[in-house]
Amino acid sequence: MAFHKRTMFCGEPRVEHVGQAVVLNGWVHRIRDLGGLFFIDLRDRTGLCQLVFDVERFPNLHELRHESVLCVHGTLQARSPETVNPKMPTGEVELIVESFEVLSRAAVLPFPVSDESQMRNVSEELRIKHRYLDLRRPSMYRKLAVRAAVVREIRRYLDERGFLEIETPIFTRSTPEGARDYLVPYRLSPGKFYALPQSPQQYKQLLMVAGVERYYQIAKCFRDEAQRADRQPEFTQLDLEMSFVTQEDILELAEGLTRAVCNRIIEQFELPLQPVEPFPRLTYDEAMERFGTDKPDLRFGLELFTATDLVRETEFRVFRSVVESGGVVRGIVYPGGASLSRKEVGELEEFAKGFGAKGLAQIPIGDSLGGIARHLGEEVAQAIVERSGAVKGDLILMVADRADVANEALARLRNRIGDQLSLRDPSVLKFCWVLDFPLVLWNEDEQRWDASHHPFTGPKEEDLEFLESDPGRV
């Protein structure tokens, strides 16, 4: 078997190369047999190039299979105007094949590597089983390239700001973290184990004490969270630490890094995303009041409203009893939702119940107010409409419960409405800072104070005096 090293990558040929004799190496991506004409799109990691074969000169072309590996010799020529393919970077030229060698003949494939639409129907299990084939897909290679570029940009940004990249040990001892450890038996001492790191937390603190001052690492972490379907047992994170800094220094570095990396990658790979803009800042209380969550989607409006004070004296016992027991009445507007069917509204209610709500009160706004408006009385109902900002054709949805339950159910409902109305623009990355979290939150079920973020968070210095006497104020 002869092998000749490529003189050009498959994604490189352009009009200015017409007339050149070249050698290409790559995989058979697509075959088109038109009887008297035989075409192959040859693929390597840089892209595709169309090959043109003389069927009389090469009578055994029908033996070629997708994903066979070829070494091809030929001359580049310009395509005729009617055959130019503007969707391919190499679409203005084609290679007239003079000779070729099959370096590796492919067997029958378990799935169509070259057909992205059909690949959407291929199970993840089959793709993983034949991972070496799955990774040949240009879309998969592109993801690997984007990831590599992200890491490269992170390093560039931090290196320019005086950070030192330091690798920390993988075999370590177990430390208090947020999940179970993966343990590795120590062969020379039965009964003793190493633990794989859930994060380099203690090592980076050691480095700060040692005077390194600015450290970072693209760190491999391991967490045994098998009970959570949305977690990976191993993952890679950017880990960094700084000494002699304020909160503002950390916010500026993290925001600057995120914007620089994202915008560079968007530009480099021509991703269908808008540039990342400066991060708006919200306090925790503001985020909860406006959106019901500390991780709001700011790509669309639909802010929550509170009607607790409006229904305090109402005869509608469902609301009044909740308010008297210390709960809240909050709501959201579904634009145009008055036209939803009873089934569609019922689905929204069941969705809200899935996040703790006991029900979903409704006020559809037509020529008159419907739903629970008749139980509230005209004055209270109109006050709710005014506060919500709803107009004719809208649907007001309300939850009466403990504040944490109402917020959770309505925040989830807000995102669902955003999806149904196509308000969550996938081309927008809308980051924000949520500041001034409470140190602890009251756990009604367990009757205790729980850390709102994690138990290693420090309180603000001015709130230390309330840590024992009034924890909810910290």
User: Is position 383 within any domain?
Assistant: yes
Q: How far apart are the first and last CA of the chain?
A: 75
pLDDT at 364: 96
The verdict on 27 and 89 lying in the same domain is yes
User: Is position 85 within any domain?
Assistant: yes
The verdict on 208 and 337 lying in the same domain is no
In 3D space, the residue among 417, 406, 425 whose CA is nearest the CA of residue 333 turns out to be: 417
CA distance 363 to 314: 16
* CATH number, residue 307: 3.30.1360.30
Q: Total structural domains in the chain? A: 4
For residue 8, CA distances in Å to 14, 49, 69, 90, 184 come to: 11, 11, 16, 12, 48
- Domain termination site, one of 210, 235, 269: 269
* CATH number, residue 204: 3.30.930.10
User: Is position 428 within any domain?
Assistant: yes
The verdict on 327 and 367 lying in the same domain is yes
pLDDT at 117: 93
The verdict on 405 and 447 lying in the same domain is no
The verdict on 264 and 314 lying in the same domain is no
CA distance 284 to 459: 14
In 3D space, the residue among 164, 179, 192 whose CA is nearest the CA of residue 234 turns out to be: 179
DSSP 439: S
User: Is position 37 within any domain?
Assistant: yes
* CATH number, residue 68: 2.40.50.140
Q: Given the DSSP bridges, would you call strands 234-242 and 214-222 parallel, antiparallel or unpaired?
A: antiparallel
Which amino acid makes up residue 98?
E
Using the structure block, give the residue that is written with the tokens 């019901």.
292
Helices (H), ranges, 187-341: 201-209, 247-268, 284-291, 317-324
What token pair was written down for 122? 């291929």
The verdict on 193 and 217 lying in the same domain is yes
The verdict on 153 and 81 lying in the same domain is no
pLDDT at 2: 61
For the chain, list residues with pLDDT below 50: none
The verdict on 362 and 459 lying in the same domain is no
DSSP code string of 168-203: --SSB-----SSBPPEEE-TTSTT-EEE--S-SHHH
pLDDT at 104: 94
What token pair was written down for 33? 């047999």
Residue-range definition of the domain harbouring residue 360? 281-433
The verdict on 169 and 149 lying in the same domain is yes
CA distance 12 to 237: 34
The verdict on 305 and 377 lying in the same domain is yes
User: Is position 111 within any domain?
Assistant: no
The verdict on 201 and 332 lying in the same domain is no
Three-state DSSP state, 139: helix
Rg (CA), the chain: 31
pLDDT at 1: 54
pLDDT at 250: 96
User: Is position 195 within any domain?
Assistant: yes
- Domain termination site, one of 210, 238, 269: 269
The verdict on 291 and 419 lying in the same domain is yes
User: Is position 334 within any domain?
Assistant: yes
CA distance 356 to 294: 18
In 3D space, the residue among 421, 324, 402, 352 whose CA is nearest the CA of residue 362 turns out to be: 352
Which residues have C-beta within 8 Å of that of residue 212, sequence separation ≥ 6?
Answer: 164, 166, 243
- Domain termination site, one of 59, 77, 104: 104
User: Is position 156 within any domain?
Assistant: yes
Which amino acid makes up residue 1?
M
